Amino acid sequence: MTTSPTAREILRSVMSGERSSLSFAKASIDQADAVRAGHDGLNILLHRDDSVARSRARSIDEKIETGEKGLLAGVPVVVKDNIATLEMPTSCGSRILEGYVSPYEATAIARLLRQGAVIVGKSNMDEFAMGSSTENSAFGPAKNPLNPSLVPGGSSGGSAAAVAAGIVPLALGSETGGSVRQPAAFCGVVGVKPTYGRVSRYGLVAFASSLDQIGVFGRTVDDAALGLESIAGLDPLDSTSAAEPVPSYCEAARGSLAGVVIGRPREYFPPELDPDIRERCDAVFDTLRRLGAEVRDVSLPHTSLAIPVYYIIAPAEASSNLARFDGVRYGLRIEGDGLQAMYEATRSRGFGREVTRRILLGTYVLSAGYYDAYYKKAQQARTLIARDFSKVFASGVHLLFTPTTPSPAFPLGAKSDPYEMYLSDIFTCTANLAGVPAVSLPIGRVNGLPVGGQFMASHFDERQMFVAAYALERALGAEPLS
Ligand code: GLN
Protein backbone atom coordinates (compact mmCIF):
# COMPACT_ATOMS: atom_id res chain seq x y z
CA MET A 1 0.00 0.00 0.00
CA THR A 2 2.85 2.39 0.68
CA THR A 3 5.00 1.39 -2.26
CA SER A 4 3.25 3.68 -4.72
CA PRO A 5 5.41 6.65 -5.69
CA THR A 6 4.97 10.15 -4.31
CA ALA A 7 3.99 13.06 -6.56
CA ARG A 8 7.57 14.33 -6.29
CA GLU A 9 8.95 10.98 -7.47
CA ILE A 10 6.51 10.83 -10.37
CA LEU A 11 7.37 14.39 -11.36
CA ARG A 12 11.11 13.63 -11.37
CA SER A 13 10.65 10.43 -13.25
CA VAL A 14 8.40 11.97 -15.90
CA MET A 15 10.51 15.11 -16.34
CA SER A 16 13.72 13.10 -16.71
CA GLY A 17 12.13 10.83 -19.29
CA GLU A 18 12.71 7.77 -17.14
CA ARG A 19 9.03 6.80 -17.19
CA SER A 20 6.08 8.12 -19.12
CA SER A 21 3.13 9.93 -17.68
CA LEU A 22 1.00 7.26 -19.36
CA SER A 23 2.65 4.49 -17.35
CA PHE A 24 1.80 6.30 -14.12
CA ALA A 25 -1.78 6.91 -15.23
CA LYS A 26 -2.10 3.20 -16.03
CA ALA A 27 -0.66 2.25 -12.63
CA SER A 28 -3.15 4.53 -10.97
CA ILE A 29 -6.05 3.00 -12.93
CA ASP A 30 -4.82 -0.52 -12.09
CA GLN A 31 -4.64 0.35 -8.41
CA ALA A 32 -8.18 1.79 -8.51
CA ASP A 33 -9.31 -1.54 -10.04
CA ALA A 34 -7.36 -3.58 -7.49
CA VAL A 35 -8.80 -1.63 -4.58
CA ARG A 36 -12.31 -2.08 -5.93
CA ALA A 37 -11.84 -5.79 -6.50
CA GLY A 38 -9.82 -6.51 -3.38
CA HIS A 39 -11.86 -4.83 -0.70
CA ASP A 40 -15.35 -5.55 -1.84
CA GLY A 41 -15.98 -1.95 -2.64
CA LEU A 42 -14.24 0.64 -0.52
CA ASN A 43 -16.42 2.90 -2.65
CA ILE A 44 -13.70 5.51 -2.92
CA LEU A 45 -14.40 6.84 -6.41
CA LEU A 46 -17.80 7.87 -7.73
CA HIS A 47 -16.70 8.57 -11.30
CA ARG A 48 -13.82 7.47 -13.45
CA ASP A 49 -13.03 7.99 -17.08
CA ASP A 50 -9.98 5.87 -17.80
CA SER A 51 -9.80 6.74 -21.46
CA VAL A 52 -9.78 10.48 -20.75
CA ALA A 53 -7.04 9.92 -18.15
CA ARG A 54 -4.97 7.89 -20.58
CA SER A 55 -5.28 10.35 -23.43
CA ARG A 56 -4.48 13.24 -21.11
CA ALA A 57 -1.35 11.40 -19.94
CA ARG A 58 -0.34 10.79 -23.54
CA SER A 59 -0.66 14.50 -24.33
CA ILE A 60 1.50 15.34 -21.28
CA ASP A 61 4.16 12.97 -22.56
CA GLU A 62 4.12 14.77 -25.91
CA LYS A 63 4.36 18.19 -24.25
CA ILE A 64 7.31 17.12 -22.15
CA GLU A 65 9.10 15.99 -25.27
CA THR A 66 8.74 19.51 -26.61
CA GLY A 67 10.29 20.91 -23.43
CA GLU A 68 7.20 21.97 -21.46
CA LYS A 69 7.35 21.86 -17.68
CA GLY A 70 4.78 21.68 -14.92
CA LEU A 71 4.77 21.41 -11.16
CA LEU A 72 2.63 18.27 -11.41
CA ALA A 73 3.69 16.89 -14.78
CA GLY A 74 2.23 13.42 -15.12
CA VAL A 75 0.94 13.22 -11.54
CA PRO A 76 -2.36 11.30 -11.23
CA VAL A 77 -4.85 13.07 -8.97
CA VAL A 78 -8.33 12.49 -7.62
CA VAL A 79 -10.78 15.33 -7.10
CA LYS A 80 -13.67 15.59 -4.66
CA ASP A 81 -17.04 15.31 -6.32
CA ASN A 82 -18.06 18.88 -5.40
CA ILE A 83 -15.36 20.50 -7.56
CA ALA A 84 -16.49 21.18 -11.10
CA THR A 85 -14.75 19.26 -13.89
CA LEU A 86 -15.68 19.19 -17.56
CA GLU A 87 -15.09 15.56 -18.29
CA MET A 88 -16.78 13.82 -15.38
CA PRO A 89 -19.96 14.44 -13.43
CA THR A 90 -19.97 16.71 -10.36
CA SER A 91 -22.67 15.15 -8.22
CA CYS A 92 -21.65 16.32 -4.71
CA GLY A 93 -22.52 12.84 -3.47
CA SER A 94 -26.19 13.76 -3.95
CA ARG A 95 -29.15 12.30 -5.84
CA ILE A 96 -30.22 15.81 -6.76
CA LEU A 97 -27.09 16.21 -8.91
CA GLU A 98 -26.70 12.59 -10.00
CA GLY A 99 -25.03 12.52 -13.41
CA TYR A 100 -24.80 16.33 -13.60
CA VAL A 101 -21.89 17.51 -15.75
CA SER A 102 -20.78 21.09 -15.21
CA PRO A 103 -20.50 23.36 -18.26
CA TYR A 104 -17.39 24.98 -16.77
CA GLU A 105 -14.47 23.85 -14.66
CA ALA A 106 -13.19 25.08 -11.32
CA THR A 107 -10.16 27.37 -11.29
CA ALA A 108 -8.34 24.85 -9.07
CA ILE A 109 -8.95 22.20 -11.75
CA ALA A 110 -7.75 24.46 -14.55
CA ARG A 111 -4.60 25.16 -12.52
CA LEU A 112 -3.97 21.47 -11.78
CA LEU A 113 -4.29 20.70 -15.46
CA ARG A 114 -2.05 23.59 -16.42
CA GLN A 115 0.63 22.09 -14.18
CA GLY A 116 0.31 18.74 -15.95
CA ALA A 117 -1.80 16.73 -13.53
CA VAL A 118 -3.89 13.81 -14.78
CA ILE A 119 -7.34 13.53 -13.19
CA VAL A 120 -8.25 9.87 -12.75
CA GLY A 121 -11.51 10.18 -10.86
CA LYS A 122 -13.97 12.04 -8.66
CA SER A 123 -14.10 10.92 -5.08
CA ASN A 124 -16.92 9.92 -2.78
CA MET A 125 -18.04 12.44 -0.17
CA ASP A 126 -20.76 13.22 2.34
CA GLU A 127 -23.67 14.73 0.45
CA PHE A 128 -22.89 18.41 -0.23
CA ALA A 129 -19.88 18.01 2.14
CA MET A 130 -22.12 17.74 5.20
CA GLY A 131 -20.70 15.11 7.49
CA SER A 132 -17.59 13.73 9.12
CA SER A 133 -17.58 10.11 7.96
CA THR A 134 -18.64 9.97 4.25
CA GLU A 135 -21.61 7.89 5.42
CA ASN A 136 -23.94 10.65 4.21
CA SER A 137 -23.08 9.98 0.57
CA ALA A 138 -26.19 9.17 -1.47
CA PHE A 139 -24.08 6.56 -3.23
CA GLY A 140 -23.11 4.54 -0.17
CA PRO A 141 -20.36 5.16 2.35
CA ALA A 142 -16.66 5.11 1.49
CA LYS A 143 -14.55 2.90 3.74
CA ASN A 144 -11.17 3.32 5.33
CA PRO A 145 -8.49 1.46 3.34
CA LEU A 146 -6.54 0.78 6.54
CA ASN A 147 -9.52 -1.15 7.93
CA PRO A 148 -12.75 -1.38 5.88
CA SER A 149 -14.93 -1.65 8.98
CA LEU A 150 -13.96 1.93 9.85
CA VAL A 151 -14.99 5.24 8.30
CA PRO A 152 -12.37 7.19 6.34
CA GLY A 153 -13.61 10.42 7.93
CA GLY A 154 -15.41 13.12 6.01
CA SER A 155 -16.64 14.88 4.25
CA SER A 156 -13.69 14.43 1.83
CA GLY A 157 -13.35 10.77 2.85
CA GLY A 158 -13.00 9.45 -0.70
CA SER A 159 -10.07 11.76 -1.46
CA ALA A 160 -8.24 10.81 1.76
CA ALA A 161 -8.89 7.13 1.10
CA ALA A 162 -7.68 7.40 -2.51
CA VAL A 163 -4.33 8.68 -1.27
CA ALA A 164 -4.10 6.16 1.60
CA ALA A 165 -4.96 3.29 -0.76
CA GLY A 166 -2.16 4.31 -3.13
CA ILE A 167 -4.48 5.08 -6.04
CA VAL A 168 -3.00 8.57 -6.36
CA PRO A 169 -0.35 10.49 -4.43
CA LEU A 170 -2.38 13.69 -4.42
CA ALA A 171 -6.06 14.62 -4.13
CA LEU A 172 -8.24 17.69 -3.78
CA GLY A 173 -10.87 17.98 -1.09
CA SER A 174 -12.82 20.82 0.42
CA GLU A 175 -13.12 22.18 3.93
CA THR A 176 -15.96 24.01 5.55
CA GLY A 177 -15.30 22.74 9.06
CA GLY A 178 -12.44 20.23 8.97
CA SER A 179 -13.35 18.04 6.01
CA VAL A 180 -9.79 17.71 4.75
CA ARG A 181 -7.87 17.49 8.02
CA GLN A 182 -10.20 15.06 9.80
CA PRO A 183 -10.21 12.41 7.04
CA ALA A 184 -6.47 12.95 6.56
CA ALA A 185 -6.00 12.10 10.24
CA PHE A 186 -8.28 9.03 9.99
CA CYS A 187 -6.49 7.68 6.91
CA GLY A 188 -2.93 8.46 8.00
CA VAL A 189 -2.17 11.04 5.31
CA VAL A 190 -1.39 14.77 5.18
CA GLY A 191 -4.24 17.27 4.71
CA VAL A 192 -3.99 21.03 4.22
CA LYS A 193 -6.65 23.67 4.66
CA PRO A 194 -5.35 26.96 3.29
CA THR A 195 -6.23 30.42 4.56
CA TYR A 196 -9.71 31.56 3.52
CA GLY A 197 -9.04 33.37 0.24
CA ARG A 198 -5.80 31.56 -0.59
CA VAL A 199 -7.36 29.25 -3.17
CA SER A 200 -10.12 30.21 -5.57
CA ARG A 201 -13.53 28.78 -4.76
CA TYR A 202 -14.71 29.28 -8.34
CA GLY A 203 -16.28 25.98 -9.36
CA LEU A 204 -16.43 24.59 -5.83
CA VAL A 205 -20.11 23.89 -5.19
CA ALA A 206 -21.02 26.21 -2.34
CA PHE A 207 -21.91 24.80 1.09
CA ALA A 208 -21.19 27.69 3.48
CA SER A 209 -19.49 30.41 1.47
CA SER A 210 -17.86 32.27 4.37
CA LEU A 211 -16.09 29.04 5.41
CA ASP A 212 -15.52 26.95 2.26
CA GLN A 213 -11.99 26.40 0.96
CA ILE A 214 -10.46 23.84 -1.36
CA GLY A 215 -7.75 21.79 0.35
CA VAL A 216 -5.11 19.24 -0.61
CA PHE A 217 -4.27 15.70 0.47
CA GLY A 218 -0.85 14.12 0.01
CA ARG A 219 0.91 11.14 1.48
CA THR A 220 3.82 13.41 2.35
CA VAL A 221 4.08 17.03 3.44
CA ASP A 222 6.09 17.74 0.31
CA ASP A 223 3.33 16.43 -1.96
CA ALA A 224 0.73 18.49 -0.12
CA ALA A 225 2.98 21.57 -0.48
CA LEU A 226 3.41 20.86 -4.18
CA GLY A 227 -0.35 20.52 -4.59
CA LEU A 228 -1.15 23.74 -2.77
CA GLU A 229 1.54 25.68 -4.62
CA SER A 230 -0.10 24.57 -7.88
CA ILE A 231 -3.57 25.88 -7.10
CA ALA A 232 -3.03 28.89 -4.78
CA GLY A 233 -3.31 32.56 -5.71
CA LEU A 234 -5.62 35.32 -6.82
CA ASP A 235 -8.40 34.49 -9.25
CA PRO A 236 -10.51 37.24 -10.83
CA LEU A 237 -13.39 34.76 -10.99
CA ASP A 238 -13.62 34.58 -7.17
CA SER A 239 -13.99 37.91 -5.41
CA THR A 240 -13.04 36.31 -2.09
CA SER A 241 -9.70 35.10 -3.40
CA ALA A 242 -6.80 37.18 -2.11
CA ALA A 243 -4.06 39.06 -3.91
CA GLU A 244 -1.45 37.95 -1.36
CA PRO A 245 1.71 36.69 -3.08
CA VAL A 246 2.14 32.90 -3.03
CA PRO A 247 5.57 31.87 -1.80
CA SER A 248 7.04 28.48 -2.69
CA TYR A 249 5.71 26.10 -0.08
CA CYS A 250 8.16 23.40 -1.15
CA GLU A 251 11.04 25.73 -0.26
CA ALA A 252 9.80 25.52 3.32
CA ALA A 253 11.49 22.11 3.43
CA ARG A 254 14.74 23.99 3.99
CA GLY A 255 13.37 26.07 6.86
CA SER A 256 14.31 25.59 10.49
CA LEU A 257 12.34 25.62 13.70
CA ALA A 258 15.08 27.39 15.63
CA GLY A 259 13.46 30.25 17.52
CA VAL A 260 9.96 29.44 16.30
CA VAL A 261 7.35 29.80 19.06
CA ILE A 262 4.70 27.06 19.04
CA GLY A 263 1.63 27.54 21.19
CA ARG A 264 -0.07 24.70 23.05
CA PRO A 265 -3.65 25.91 23.47
CA ARG A 266 -4.96 24.44 26.70
CA GLU A 267 -8.55 24.17 25.42
CA TYR A 268 -7.42 21.52 22.90
CA PHE A 269 -6.06 19.31 25.68
CA PRO A 270 -9.06 18.95 28.03
CA PRO A 271 -8.87 16.43 30.89
CA GLU A 272 -11.18 14.05 29.02
CA LEU A 273 -8.93 13.92 25.93
CA ASP A 274 -8.06 10.35 24.89
CA PRO A 275 -4.87 9.65 26.92
CA ASP A 276 -3.12 8.00 23.97
CA ILE A 277 -3.72 11.03 21.77
CA ARG A 278 -2.47 13.31 24.53
CA GLU A 279 0.65 11.20 24.86
CA ARG A 280 1.35 11.32 21.12
CA CYS A 281 0.97 15.12 21.18
CA ASP A 282 3.26 15.43 24.21
CA ALA A 283 5.87 13.43 22.33
CA VAL A 284 5.48 15.84 19.39
CA PHE A 285 6.04 18.83 21.68
CA ASP A 286 9.27 17.18 22.92
CA THR A 287 10.37 16.66 19.33
CA LEU A 288 9.55 20.27 18.42
CA ARG A 289 11.64 21.48 21.37
CA ARG A 290 14.53 19.29 20.25
CA LEU A 291 14.24 20.88 16.82
CA GLY A 292 14.79 24.29 18.37
CA ALA A 293 11.24 25.53 18.83
CA GLU A 294 9.94 27.13 21.99
CA VAL A 295 6.70 25.55 23.20
CA ARG A 296 4.45 28.01 25.03
CA ASP A 297 1.19 27.37 26.89
CA VAL A 298 -1.53 29.59 25.46
CA SER A 299 -5.29 29.97 25.69
CA LEU A 300 -8.01 30.38 23.06
CA PRO A 301 -10.79 31.01 25.57
CA HIS A 302 -13.77 30.91 23.21
CA THR A 303 -12.99 27.46 21.77
CA SER A 304 -15.95 25.82 23.48
CA LEU A 305 -18.32 28.02 21.42
CA ALA A 306 -16.97 26.70 18.13
CA ILE A 307 -19.26 23.71 17.58
CA PRO A 308 -22.53 25.53 18.37
CA VAL A 309 -21.41 28.55 16.35
CA TYR A 310 -20.32 26.44 13.38
CA TYR A 311 -23.55 24.46 13.42
CA ILE A 312 -25.59 27.66 13.24
CA ILE A 313 -23.55 29.54 10.63
CA ALA A 314 -22.85 26.62 8.29
CA PRO A 315 -26.49 25.45 8.05
CA ALA A 316 -27.69 29.07 7.70
CA GLU A 317 -25.44 29.63 4.69
CA ALA A 318 -26.24 26.16 3.34
CA SER A 319 -29.98 26.79 3.47
CA SER A 320 -29.47 29.80 1.24
CA ASN A 321 -26.87 28.22 -1.09
CA LEU A 322 -28.88 25.06 -1.65
CA ALA A 323 -32.01 26.98 -2.64
CA ARG A 324 -30.72 26.84 -6.21
CA PHE A 325 -31.39 23.10 -6.42
CA ASP A 326 -35.05 23.43 -7.27
CA GLY A 327 -35.61 21.15 -10.24
CA VAL A 328 -35.53 24.10 -12.63
CA ARG A 329 -31.90 24.74 -13.34
CA TYR A 330 -29.91 21.73 -12.23
CA GLY A 331 -30.12 17.99 -12.01
CA LEU A 332 -33.11 16.10 -10.67
CA ARG A 333 -36.68 17.24 -11.41
CA ILE A 334 -39.74 15.41 -10.20
CA GLU A 335 -42.98 16.70 -11.65
CA GLY A 336 -45.84 17.56 -9.34
CA ASP A 337 -49.18 19.28 -9.47
CA GLY A 338 -47.92 22.82 -10.03
CA LEU A 339 -44.63 24.57 -9.33
CA GLN A 340 -44.77 24.31 -5.55
CA ALA A 341 -45.45 20.58 -5.72
CA MET A 342 -42.59 20.13 -8.20
CA TYR A 343 -40.19 21.93 -5.80
CA GLU A 344 -41.38 19.83 -2.93
CA ALA A 345 -41.16 16.51 -4.75
CA THR A 346 -37.76 17.30 -6.24
CA ARG A 347 -36.16 18.56 -3.07
CA SER A 348 -37.59 15.93 -0.74
CA ARG A 349 -36.55 13.12 -3.07
CA GLY A 350 -33.24 14.71 -4.08
CA PHE A 351 -31.75 15.59 -0.70
CA GLY A 352 -30.77 13.08 1.97
CA ARG A 353 -31.56 13.27 5.68
CA GLU A 354 -28.56 15.26 6.87
CA VAL A 355 -28.84 17.85 4.10
CA THR A 356 -32.55 18.20 4.82
CA ARG A 357 -31.82 18.63 8.52
CA ARG A 358 -29.29 21.40 7.78
CA ILE A 359 -31.67 23.22 5.44
CA LEU A 360 -34.41 23.14 8.07
CA LEU A 361 -32.02 24.22 10.82
CA GLY A 362 -30.55 26.98 8.66
CA THR A 363 -33.92 28.30 7.58
CA TYR A 364 -35.03 28.35 11.22
CA VAL A 365 -32.03 30.31 12.53
CA LEU A 366 -32.41 32.86 9.73
CA SER A 367 -36.15 33.34 10.15
CA ALA A 368 -37.61 36.57 11.48
CA GLY A 369 -37.81 36.45 15.25
CA TYR A 370 -34.96 33.94 15.61
CA TYR A 371 -32.32 35.71 13.51
CA ASP A 372 -31.05 37.88 16.37
CA ALA A 373 -31.13 35.10 18.93
CA TYR A 374 -29.26 32.55 16.82
CA TYR A 375 -27.64 33.77 13.62
CA LYS A 376 -26.56 37.22 14.81
CA LYS A 377 -25.37 35.82 18.15
CA ALA A 378 -23.37 33.15 16.33
CA GLN A 379 -21.71 35.79 14.15
CA GLN A 380 -20.74 37.75 17.26
CA ALA A 381 -19.31 34.61 18.88
CA ARG A 382 -17.45 33.83 15.67
CA THR A 383 -15.73 37.20 15.96
CA LEU A 384 -14.62 36.29 19.49
CA ILE A 385 -13.17 32.99 18.25
CA ALA A 386 -11.30 34.74 15.43
CA ARG A 387 -10.03 37.35 17.89
CA ASP A 388 -8.62 34.59 20.15
CA PHE A 389 -6.41 33.51 17.26
CA SER A 390 -5.35 37.06 16.33
CA LYS A 391 -4.40 37.81 19.93
CA VAL A 392 -2.29 34.67 20.30
CA PHE A 393 -0.50 35.28 17.02
CA ALA A 394 0.03 38.96 17.90
CA SER A 395 1.67 37.90 21.16
CA GLY A 396 4.67 36.42 19.36
CA VAL A 397 3.36 32.88 18.85
CA HIS A 398 4.08 31.73 15.28
CA LEU A 399 2.13 28.47 15.21
CA LEU A 400 -0.25 26.39 17.25
CA PHE A 401 -0.07 22.62 17.56
CA THR A 402 -3.06 20.48 18.62
CA PRO A 403 -4.59 17.06 18.00
CA THR A 404 -6.58 17.02 14.75
CA THR A 405 -9.40 14.84 16.10
CA PRO A 406 -10.55 13.73 19.54
CA SER A 407 -10.35 10.05 18.51
CA PRO A 408 -8.92 7.85 15.75
CA ALA A 409 -11.20 6.53 12.97
CA PHE A 410 -14.44 5.08 14.32
CA PRO A 411 -16.50 2.13 12.99
CA LEU A 412 -19.10 2.63 10.28
CA GLY A 413 -22.48 3.20 11.86
CA ALA A 414 -20.98 4.09 15.26
CA LYS A 415 -22.36 7.62 15.44
CA SER A 416 -26.06 7.62 14.73
CA ASP A 417 -26.78 10.74 16.79
CA PRO A 418 -26.02 13.77 14.59
CA TYR A 419 -24.75 15.77 17.55
CA GLU A 420 -22.19 13.09 18.35
CA MET A 421 -21.02 13.24 14.75
CA TYR A 422 -20.75 17.05 14.94
CA LEU A 423 -18.38 16.72 17.89
CA SER A 424 -15.80 15.05 15.60
CA ASP A 425 -15.06 18.58 14.31
CA ILE A 426 -14.30 20.04 17.70
CA PHE A 427 -10.59 20.72 17.05
CA THR A 428 -10.87 21.51 13.36
CA CYS A 429 -13.83 23.84 12.81
CA THR A 430 -12.14 26.67 14.74
CA ALA A 431 -9.59 27.26 11.96
CA ASN A 432 -12.44 27.56 9.46
CA LEU A 433 -14.35 30.01 11.65
CA ALA A 434 -11.20 32.12 12.10
CA GLY A 435 -10.14 31.70 8.45
CA VAL A 436 -6.61 30.63 9.39
CA PRO A 437 -4.60 27.92 7.60
CA ALA A 438 -3.92 24.51 9.10
CA VAL A 439 -2.22 21.26 8.17
CA SER A 440 -2.78 17.84 9.67
CA LEU A 441 -0.09 15.18 9.49
CA PRO A 442 0.27 11.68 10.93
CA ILE A 443 1.99 11.74 14.32
CA GLY A 444 1.86 8.04 15.19
CA ARG A 445 -0.61 5.31 15.93
CA VAL A 446 -2.97 4.32 18.70
CA ASN A 447 -4.05 0.66 18.72
CA GLY A 448 -2.77 0.38 15.16
CA LEU A 449 -4.77 3.36 13.92
CA PRO A 450 -3.22 6.58 12.69
CA VAL A 451 -3.47 9.74 14.78
CA GLY A 452 -3.18 13.21 13.27
CA GLY A 453 -1.78 16.39 14.74
CA GLN A 454 -2.29 19.85 13.26
CA PHE A 455 -0.35 23.07 12.97
CA MET A 456 -2.39 26.24 12.63
CA ALA A 457 -0.80 29.52 11.49
CA SER A 458 -1.89 33.12 11.12
CA HIS A 459 -3.63 34.26 7.94
CA PHE A 460 -1.58 33.63 4.79
CA ASP A 461 1.34 32.19 6.74
CA GLU A 462 1.10 28.71 5.21
CA ARG A 463 4.84 28.84 4.66
CA GLN A 464 5.61 28.85 8.39
CA MET A 465 3.16 26.01 8.86
CA PHE A 466 4.92 23.98 6.18
CA VAL A 467 8.33 24.62 7.75
CA ALA A 468 7.06 22.95 10.92
CA ALA A 469 5.26 20.14 9.10
CA TYR A 470 8.32 19.27 7.00
CA ALA A 471 10.57 19.33 10.09
CA LEU A 472 8.20 17.24 12.20
CA GLU A 473 7.63 14.70 9.45
CA ARG A 474 11.38 14.31 8.98
CA ALA A 475 11.91 13.93 12.70
CA LEU A 476 9.16 11.37 13.17
CA GLY A 477 10.45 9.34 10.23
CA ALA A 478 8.31 7.77 7.56
CA GLU A 479 5.45 6.10 9.40
CA PRO A 480 4.29 3.03 7.47
CA LEU A 481 0.61 3.20 6.70
CA SER A 482 -0.13 -0.46 7.20
N1 GLN B 1 -18.21 17.85 9.42
C2 GLN B 1 -18.55 19.21 9.19
C3 GLN B 1 -19.96 19.32 8.69
O4 GLN B 1 -20.61 18.34 8.62
C5 GLN B 1 -17.57 19.84 8.25
C6 GLN B 1 -17.83 19.49 6.84
C7 GLN B 1 -16.85 20.15 5.92
O8 GLN B 1 -15.81 20.65 6.31
N9 GLN B 1 -17.24 20.19 4.65
O10 GLN B 1 -20.45 20.36 8.37
Q: Mean pLDDT, to the nearest integer, of 393-422?
A: 96
Pocket lining: 132 vs ligand 1, CB cutoff 6 Å:
yes
- 342-to-325, 333, 373 alpha-carbon distances in Å: 12, 7, 33
Q: Please tell me which residue in 4, 80, 133, 440 is annotated as part of the active site.
A: 80
Q: Is the pLDDT of residue 345 over 50?
A: yes
Pocket lining: 473 vs ligand 1, CB cutoff 6 Å:
no
User: Is 28 marked active-site?
Assistant: no
User: Is 256 marked active-site?
Assistant: no
Mutation test residue for ligand 1: of 425, 426, 430, 454, the one with most atoms within 8 Å of CB: 425
Residue 318's pLDDT is what? Answer: 98
The tens digit of pLDDT for each residue in 78-88 reads 999 999 999 99
Output the CA 439–ligand 1 centroid distance in Å.
Answer: 16
Q: Mean pLDDT, to the nearest integer, of 230-249?
A: 97
CB 397 within 8 A of CB 261: yes
The pLDDT confidence band at residue 173, using thresholds 50, 70 and 90, is: very high
Task: State the virtual CA torsion across 439, 441, 443, 448 in degrees, nearest 10.
Answer: 140
The tens digit of pLDDT for each residue in 13-27 reads 999 999 999 999 999
Pocket lining: 90 vs ligand 1, CB cutoff 6 Å:
no
Classify residue 171 as left (phi > 0), alpha (psi -120 to 50) or beta.
Answer: beta
Tell me how far apart the alpha carbons of residues 145 and 152 are, in angstroms, rounded to a whole number.
Answer: 8
Q: Mean pLDDT, to the nearest integer, of 46-66?
A: 96
Q: Is the pLDDT of residue 482 over 50?
A: no
CB 115 within 8 A of CB 73: yes
Q: Mean pLDDT, to the nearest integer, of 386-399?
A: 98
Output the CA 373–ligand 1 centroid distance in Å.
Answer: 23
CB 309 within 8 A of CB 381: yes
User: Is 179 marked active-site?
Assistant: yes
Mutation test residue for ligand 1: of 83, 94, 126, 313, the one with most atoms within 8 Å of CB: 126
Residue 330's pLDDT is what? Answer: 85
Pocket lining: 205 vs ligand 1, CB cutoff 6 Å:
no
Q: Mean pLDDT, to the nearest integer, of 429-436?
A: 98
Which stretch of 94-103, 242-251, 279-288, 470-479 has the lowest confidence by average pLDDT? 470-479
Angle at the Cα of 418 from the Cα atoms of 416 and 423, rounded to 5 degrees: 110
Residue 37's pLDDT is what? Answer: 77
Pocket lining: 314 vs ligand 1, CB cutoff 6 Å:
yes
- 373-to-305, 377, 409, 422 alpha-carbon distances in Å: 15, 6, 35, 21
DSSP structure class, residue 102 = -
The pLDDT confidence band at residue 481, using thresholds 50, 70 and 90, is: very low
The tens digit of pLDDT for each residue in 350-365 reads 999 999 999 999 999 9
DSSP β-ladder status, 213-218 and 190-193: antiparallel
By alpha-carbon position, which residue is closest to atom 10 of ligand 1?
130
Output the CA 351–ligand 1 centroid distance in Å.
Answer: 16
The tens digit of pLDDT for each residue in 119-139 reads 999 999 999 999 999 999 999
Mutation test residue for ligand 1: of 155, 359, 419, the one with most atoms within 8 Å of CB: 155
Q: Is the pLDDT of residue 337 over 90?
A: yes
pTM recorded for the entire structure: 0.97
Q: Please tell me which residue in 4, 155, 407, 440 is annotated as part of the active site.
A: 155
The pLDDT confidence band at residue 41, using thresholds 50, 70 and 90, is: confident
CB 413 within 8 A of CB 319: no
Pocket lining: 179 vs ligand 1, CB cutoff 6 Å:
yes
Pocket lining: 176 vs ligand 1, CB cutoff 6 Å:
yes
Pocket lining: 212 vs ligand 1, CB cutoff 6 Å:
no
Output the CA 44–ligand 1 centroid distance in Å.
Answer: 18
Arithmetic mean of pLDDT over the chain: 96
Q: Mean pLDDT, to the nearest integer, of 359-375?
A: 96
